[in-house]
């Protein structure tokens, strides 16, 4: 919880600077790629969390991975290193994107499904999200075969679970209660 608050503070500071310099969208693109890389790469996440690897090596590795970073994104890495908080880089990047999208009147809808969504399904999900929240959304599709079928939709703090695995668990609970 404390790390989340800290990450939000850093994200707000970077977003304010980016808005002043009229580069919020470019920094958002950087933050999306950083957040995605940290979330999907256990090696990158382990490197950020490692107390053994010197900060200078972490910085050079990050700059090698993310070659065309905006100067504000690179400054964020320097600031996090100086404050010994580089381990929250992924969370800061996620929070930046959330704050940026809120400012633009957009939100991220995370859809977990057993298979990749087709364009037709994405359109239907976007329409449903717009109906539920009144805001435009960007869809992030994650594939998790363990849900068997259906989908799990997360928008902000709302979650709608229409997965087959969830329905089977409900049936199982009903039968064990009777």
Domain ranges of the chain: 2-102, 106-177
Query: CB 174: neighbour CB atoms within 10 A?
Result: 9
Instruction: Return the CATH number of the domain spanning residue range 2-102.
Output: 1.10.520.20
The owner of tokens 């991220």 is 108
Q: Tell me, what's the pLDDT at 149?
A: 85
Instruction: Give yes or no for a contact between 101 and 14, defined as CB atoms under 8 angstroms apart.
Output: no
pLDDT exceeds cutoff 80 at 11: yes
Distance of alpha carbon 146 from alpha carbon 144, whole angstroms: 5
Instruction: Give yes or no for a contact between 155 and 129, defined as CB atoms under 8 angstroms apart.
Output: yes
Instruction: Give yes or no for a contact between 12 and 99, defined as CB atoms under 8 angstroms apart.
Output: yes
pLDDT (tens digit per residue) in 14-63: 999 999 999 999 999 999 999 989 988 899 999 999 999 999 999 999 99
Q: Tell me, what's the pLDDT at 46?
A: 93
b/e sequence 61-98, b meaning 16+ C-beta within 10 Å: ebeeebeebbebbeebbeebbeeebbbbbbbbbbbbbb
Q: Tell me, what's the pLDDT at 178?
A: 63
Q: Tell me, what's the pLDDT at 54?
A: 93
pLDDT (tens digit per residue) in 96-142: 988 998 888 788 888 888 888 888 888 888 888 888 788 888 888 88
Helices (H), the chain: 2-20, 24-40, 42-49, 55-65, 71-82, 89-104, 119-133, 164-177
Instruction: Give yes or no for a contact between 129 and 160, defined as CB atoms under 8 angstroms apart.
Output: no
Instruction: Give yes or no for a contact between 131 and 158, defined as CB atoms under 8 angstroms apart.
Output: no
What DSSP string describes 65-115?
A: HSTT--HHHHHHHHHHHHTT-GGGHHHHHHHHHHHHHHHHTEEEEEEEESS
pLDDT exceeds cutoff 80 at 93: yes
pLDDT exceeds cutoff 70 at 1: no
pLDDT exceeds cutoff 70 at 161: yes
pLDDT (tens digit per residue) in 144-156: 888 888 888 888 7
Name the pLDDT band for 175 (thresholds 50, 70, 90). confident
Report the Cα 125 to chain-centroid distance in Å. Answer: 19
Length, in residues, of the chain:
178
Q: Tell me, what's the pLDDT at 2?
A: 59
């Amino acid at each position: 919880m404390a790390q989340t608050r800290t990450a939000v503070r850093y994200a707000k500071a970077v977003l304010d600077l980016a808005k002043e310099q009229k580069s919020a969208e470019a920094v958002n693109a950087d933050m999306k790629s950083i957040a995605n890389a940290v979330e999907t790469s256990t090696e990158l996440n382990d490197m950020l969390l490692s107390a053994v690897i010197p900060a200078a090596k972490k910085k050079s590795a990050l700059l090698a991975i993310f070659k065309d970073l905006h100067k504000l994104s690179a400054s964020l890495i320097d600031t996090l290193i100086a404050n010994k908080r580089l381990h929250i880089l992924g969370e800061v990047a996620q929070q930046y994107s959330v704050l940026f999208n809120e400012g633009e009147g957009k939100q991220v809808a995370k859809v977990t499904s057993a298979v990749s969504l087709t364009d037709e399904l994405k359109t239907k999900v976007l329409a449903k999200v717009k109906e539920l929240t009144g805001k435009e959304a960007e869809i992030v599709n994650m594939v998790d075969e363990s849900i068997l079928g259906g989908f799990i939709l997360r928008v902000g703090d709302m979650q709608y679970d229409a997965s087959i695995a969830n329905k089977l668990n409900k049936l199982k609970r009903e039968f064990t209660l009777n």
